[in-house]
Amino acid sequence: MPFDAQYEGRLLIEPPLSPAERRALDAFLGSRRIKTVQGPLDCRRSLSRGHADVLDWNSPAEGQPSLYTGLAVSQDGTTLFWDGNEKPGYLTDWVRYVIDHLLKPGAVFQELSRKVEWGDALSQFTFDHHVSGVLYGASYNDERWRVYVVDNEVEQVEMNIPHDDEAEEEDS
């Protein structure tokens, strides 16, 4: 998937996130996902390159697709959508990560929430959500795809749109 993409569409969250879940997810989605001593749920936006807790400023936290999620959550906690920032190169992977780790029943972090002290990060999540919807992706070089989410299952489908010269070749 190209890094120079734009997206339209929304992914519906049922039941909607509680206000506490929405705040926690918003903090997660909006922070630079760097390797820190606190692990993959560290959502501190105040960290800087030389901070003692930063293990690697230029690498994502373990198991996370990239440094930025490219996702945002609506104020009412009912939808996920593209945050509008440029170069969301791993958006499909981030959709899958957020659902699999934080939202769905049996999410990866649900078990961790019982075993590890993560502060308030996991205590806000109920791990009982189902996500469905479509995101439409397009790059500046005319690549097109859809990210389908049906009951927490994520699939990206490429859409072949022939360029004018390709269409002429097929017609001859």
Pairing of strands 54-60, 144-150: unpaired
SS3 per-residue string spanning 111-150 = HHHHHCCCCCCCCCCCCCCEEEEEEEEEECCCCEEEEEEE
Residue at token pair 């072949």: 160
Structural domain boundaries, residue 110 = 5-171
Strand segments, DSSP code E, in 22-110 are 34-36, 54-60, 71-73, 79-82
Q: Are 151 and 132 in contact (CB under 8 A)?
A: yes
Ordered DSSP codes for 151-163: TTEEEEEEE----
pLDDT, one tens digit per residue, over 100-126 is: 999 999 998 887 766 555 556 677 789
Q: Are 11 and 132 in contact (CB under 8 A)?
A: yes
Q: Please give the model's pTM, rounded to 2 decimal places.
A: 0.87
At residue 135, the pLDDT reads: 96
SS3 68: coil
- As a whole number of Å, the end-to-end CA separation of the chain is 31
Q: Is residue 165 pLDDT above 80, yes or no?
A: no
Per the structure, how many domains does the chain have? Answer: 1
At residue 5, the pLDDT reads: 82
User: Which class for 102: exposed (0-12), middle (13-18), buried (19 or more C-beta within 10 A)?
Assistant: buried
What is the arithmetic mean of pLDDT over 65-94?
Answer: 92
